[in-house]
Amino acid sequence: QVQLVESGGGLVQAGGSLRLSCAVSGRTFSRSAVAWFRQALGKEREFVAVIGWSGLKTYGEDSAKGRFSIFRNNVKNLVSLQMDELQPDDTAVYYCAARSGNVKTSPEDYASWGQGTQVTVSS
């Protein structure tokens, strides 16, 4: 069974940066796609980025603007999300999720989730 633990959230001023980490346990990590989603208060869960076991990356509409980057370390079983030029609209709980197989962008395609980490961007 895969377990995920997020870290790195916090309070940052607009224009600042944060690096989120997702520690993944389980022997299937090297064959798993790991994604980041976020959910702001009163809104639906939104896709941010995903990285496949081969390193293939896909970004959501907002992070595709070049502000976010996703990385994975298959030795440490770690997936990171570097977030730059943060804006108040980025305020949300950020979740990482894992699935075996190909990358997907819908939360319904992911069975394993972390507890989430809060990111708050002040103006």
pLDDT digits (tens, 9 = 90+) for 76-120: 999 999 999 999 999 999 999 999 989 999 999 999 999 999 999
* Eight-class DSSP state of 26: S
Given a contact cutoff of 8 angstroms between Cβ atoms, the answer to whether 24 and 35 are in contact is no
- Identity at 3, one-letter amino acid code: Q
pLDDT in the model for residue 63? 66
18-72: pLDDT as tens digits: 999 999 998 788 889 999 999 999 999 999 999 999 999 999 987 667 899 999 9
Separation between Cα atoms, residue 50 and residue 69, nearest integer Å = 10
